[in-house]
Amino acid sequence: MNISELLCAAGRAIGYPAAQDLYEGDSDRSITFTYEDERTVLFADNEEREVTVFLMVSMNTPQDYNYLEDKKRLKSELKARGFLVESVQTWLEDTTKGVKKTRRTVFTVNITGAVEE
């Protein structure tokens, strides 16, 4: 289970660049994701077999951008890739990327899968 690739693919599907923790590109719209927690959910033969990973996925847009359709599409893309969307919150933040304010829409998600070797 390559979680980073799943999240980057979800971003590409809606036309957004995506990066772990910090996006440093030129686009005024982006997706960033941060790993918050990881818990083993299945042991076998004294080995960790499956984990649940909890993440914060942020969709970042300019304040004046109509983000609602993109929010709906990203939620759908996350679910299609096996993520459980626990909650969605939106707020405005201080200036970044040369726009007045950045609207951050945060999806709290988790995914369970096999441990990567």
* pLDDT value at residue 68: 97
Considering the entire predicted model, what is its pTM? Answer: 0.89
> Average of pLDDT values for 80-87?
97
* pLDDT value at residue 83: 97
Q: Is 86 exposed, middle or buried (0-12, 13-18, 19+ CB in 10 A)?
A: exposed
Q: At what angle do helices 3-13 and 68-80 cross, to 10 degrees?
A: 140
* pLDDT value at residue 97: 58
More reliable by pLDDT, 53 or 97: 53
